[in-house]
A and B are shown apart, each in its own frame.
Chain A
Amino acid sequence: DQQVKQNSPSLSVQEGRISILNCDYTNSMFDYFLWYKKYPAEGPTFLISISSIKDKNEDGRFTVFLNKSAKHLSLHIVPSQPGDSAVYFCAARAMEYGNKLVFGAGTILRVKS
């Protein structure tokens, strides 16, 4: 049962434009959501997170939006830069699972210059 889904395997965006990566979840017990960026042969790098009591969190060029009723979150990157090209993973945690993170399958972002 895939509790966290990233339905777009890849996304291509022009440099300077907005990148929007989407993530859906099914488990209503998830109370914290995180986005990670990953380059090949490296570990995931933490980008930004959001608690379920909020609907938006912003950090520089990165903003995460959470719609609890729709069980949907999205990561906005503005403006997109070529160095943002990587695989982006959405992850979620539920208190009952301790520190266990449930990851989506990832979305490959390509930013064209």
Chain B
Amino acid sequence: KAGVTQTPRYLIKTRGQQVTLSCSPISGHRSVSWYQQTPGQGLQFLFEYFSETQRNKGNFPGRFSGRQFSNSRSEMNVSTLELGDSALYLCASSLVPGRSSYEQYFGPGTRLTVT
């Protein structure tokens, strides 16, 4: 079974631009979560989607948004990029929220560099 895939793997953008990152979960997984990893803040939760609905959101500004499609694929968007947005963005998928096991499986991440 294929794992979580994320595209693109690397991205360089300029301050003020916007960016869209894509995530395809493991087949059969319906919940997708996004995390930001930076050296200073570690792994921070951005948001979670299930059945095309945002179920939970972390403490990030409104410039960070996301959505989920009917096939469970998800995208996240960052508008008006700032230098501090440079990070590894990780997508994680899991079966269905509320089940007894809550393992989340991560993709390889998208390395975003803002200059």
Residues of A within 8 A of B (CB): 32, 34, 36, 41-46, 49, 51, 89, 91, 93, 97-106
Also in contact, A100 and B56, with CB within 8 A (given A42-B109, A43-B108, A44-B90) = yes
Nearest opposing residue in chain A for B109, CB measure:
A43
The total number of A-B Cβ pairs within 8 Å is 67
Number of B interface residues in the complex (CB < 8 A): 29
Q: Which residues of A contact B33 (CB under 8 A)?
A: 99-101
**B60 interfacial by beta-carbon distance below 8 Å:** no
| Secondary structure type dominating chain B contacts | strand
Residues of B within 8 A of A (CB): 4, 6, 31, 33, 35, 42-45, 48, 50, 55-56, 58, 90, 92, 94, 97, 100-109, 111
CB-based contact A100/B102 at 8 Å: no
